[in-house]
Amino acid sequence: MSDTPSTIETSTTPPKGFGWDDSAELHKCEDGGGLFHRFKTIRRGTVAELIGFVMGLPEEKQDDYAIQKDGDHTFRIGEIRRLSRRADFPAS
């Protein structure tokens, strides 16, 4: 179950931890025109895999990327860094 219910979620049970295995896409923002200017999908994977990928990039390049969690949320670099530091982050 995702940790952040979508707008069509009908479950009344509380979330059970963060959805590290939820599907996501890694996007690159090009040309400095903001998040959605020439928003390019680079790869798909789990949220944890993509966070690991971004955190493995040189620090000066990390801000060029965003992770779109399927149906839920877009993570920018500040949130990606916070998630990578969580005690329950599944480090590879």
**What is the residue range of 68's domain?**
23-84
- The answer to whether the beta carbons of residues 20 and 33 sit under 8 Å apart is no
> What is the tally of helices (H) and strands (E) in the chain?
3, 4
Statement: residue 67 has pLDDT above 90: yes
Residue at 12 is within a domain: no
Domain presence at residue 14: no
Residue-wise pLDDT tens digits, 9-58: 555 655 567 899 999 999 987 655 555 555 678 899 999 999 999 999 99
pLDDT at 41: 83
pLDDT, tens digit, for every residue of 77-87?
999 999 999 99
pLDDT at 36: 54
Q: Maximum Cα–Cα distance for the chain, whole Å?
A: 42
Q: Please report the pLDDT score of residue 71 as a whole number.
A: 77
Residue 66 identity (one-letter amino acid): A
- Model pLDDT, residue 47: 96
Q: How far is 78 from 92, CA to CA, in rounded Å? A: 20
Measured CA to CA in angstroms, residue 4 lies from 13, 17, 27, 61 at distances of: 12, 10, 20, 28
Number of separate domains in the chain: 1
